[in-house]
Chains A and B, each alone.
Chain A
Amino acid sequence: MQVRVLYFASFRDAAGHPEEIREIPPGTRVADLWEILSREVPAFGRFPGMPPAAVNRLSTVAFHTLEDGDEVAYLPPVAGG
């Protein structure tokens, strides 16, 4: 199944692109996908666990299981205002 991964701010710079489509096995959790991505992008490793994340624009938790077609975003510390 496929999910769409979005990157912002420093994560976008580190990834080198704003978004990508990822093929993942069923049962993949939000934290599992972050681990996969961190292996490819060393700069992501500075977050010991997992940064805040959102699935389909709603704040989520590490053990949330992803579904086909989900939009996943890992969010660096926010700094609006």
Chain B
Amino acid sequence: MYLTHDPIDLPALLADTRPSDGAVCLFVGVVRNESDGKETVAIEYQAYEAMAEMELAHVAASVSQEWPGAFVQISHRVGRLEVGEPSVAILVTAPHRATAFAACRLAIEWLKETVPIWKKEIRPDGSGEWVEPKTPSLLSEGRTPLSDTLFNPKFRQEDLP
């Protein structure tokens, strides 16, 4: 299960390493107190849960394929989260740091563009605003996330130091 209605269990993610791992890279996305100058007191995350589970599995498997040796774990929370609470955690373990960093970055960028999860920023007066990024999602026009993302130059291995 990649989605959770409970707080993300970071220690559990960190406990899952292999003897061959020499690097552990953890990305944690947390709820920020503002967005474009507008105060935010909480964020409500909603997901198309059945599809999001499949898409998150797809992200984890495909990133591991793109970066051999990387072991990818993802946990995304849904429901109402207060400022400072982790909304997503991506943990990548690998024999070496270059792979761990790159795979972790690819996983979060891919997740943000393709997985059917939405967030509503809650203002101090209790009103809410759904966040709708202007960049078209890779889900648009029936394009497959795999081909679009993996062949996007910004994620290619050769561009990394």
- Residue numbers of A with Cβ under 8 A of B are 6, 8-10, 12-13, 51-52, 54, 57-62, 73, 75-81
Contact = CB atoms under 8 A, between A and B. Distances in A.
Interface string B104-125: 0000100111111111100000
Given A8-B46, A8-B116, A8-B118, A77 B142 contact: no
B46 A9 contact: yes
B11 interface: no
Nearest to B114: A78
Interface of B: 29, 45-48, 50-52, 54, 76, 87-88, 108, 111-120, 130-134, 136-137, 139-142, 144-145
Contacts of A73: 48, 51, 116
B51 A79 contact: no
Given A52-B137, A78-B114, A81-B112, A10 B130 contact: yes
Given A8-B118, A54-B116, A80 B111 contact: yes
A66 B115 CA distance: 23
